[in-house]
A and B are shown apart, each in its own frame.
Chain A
C-alpha cells in the first residue's frame, strides 16, 4: 500500500 492510498489519514 502506498502513502497516497491512505487518503483518509491526516
Chain B
C-alpha cells in the first residue's frame, strides 16, 4: 500500500458516500444514470470474486465489501426506493454495446485464460467505459448529480494502461460537458 493508492481508495469511498447521501437526502436520483450504476455493480462483482478465494487484509476485505454493497444499494435506491424520480426516458444508452465487446475482448486479450482471470480482465475493460451511459445522459439533459471516480495504480500492465487511457479520455469529455452544459446551463433545445 502506498499513499497514492490510499488516497485513490479514499477518494472513491468519499465519492460513493456523497452520491448515496445526496440521493437519500434529496429523496431523488434525478440526473443519475441507473445503467452506469448497473455497469459498476457488474465491474465490482466480476472483479471481487477473489473475496471468496483469497484473504489479503482486513482493509482489503472491508473495502471490497463496501464497494460491492454500496453499488447494489445505489441500484436499489434508483430502481426501487426512489424509482419515481429516476429519469429513465433520458437513460437510454444500450449497455449491451459495452458489455458484449468487453466480454469478447476479455476472452481474446488476457494474461491467462482462466475463469477468474477473464472475469478480472472483463471488469477492467468494462470499468473504463461504464461511465458512458452517464455521459450520454448528461449530454442529453445537461444535468448531473455526483460523479463517482475510479482510478488505476502505477502497475505496468498494458491491459490496465490502455483501459485507463480510454477512461481518461472519456472523463475529460465528461468534464467538458459538465462545464459547457451543467455549469453554464446551456441546454440544447429543439425548435418548437
* Majority DSSP secondary structure for residues of B touching A: helix
Interface residues on B, range: 20 to 34
* Majority DSSP secondary structure for residues of A touching B: loop
CB distance from B92 to the nearest CB of A (A): 31
Neighbouring A residues of B57 by C-beta, 8 Å = 8
Q: Is B86 an interface residue (CB 8 A)?
A: no
Neighbouring B residues of A9 by C-beta, 8 Å = 5, 153, 155
- In whole angstroms, what is the CA distance A8 to B64 when docked? 10
Give 10 closest A-B pairs by Cβ, nearest first: A2-B111, A3-B120, A2-B112, A7-B54, A8-B56, A4-B116, A4-B120, A7-B56, A4-B117, A7-B50
Interface residues of B (CB under 8 A from A): 1, 5, 9, 12, 50, 54, 56-57, 60, 63-64, 67, 110-112, 114, 116-117, 120-121, 124, 153, 155, 157, 159-160
Q: Check B60–A3 contact: CB distance below 8 A.
A: no
- In whole angstroms, what is the CA distance A8 to B157 when docked? 15
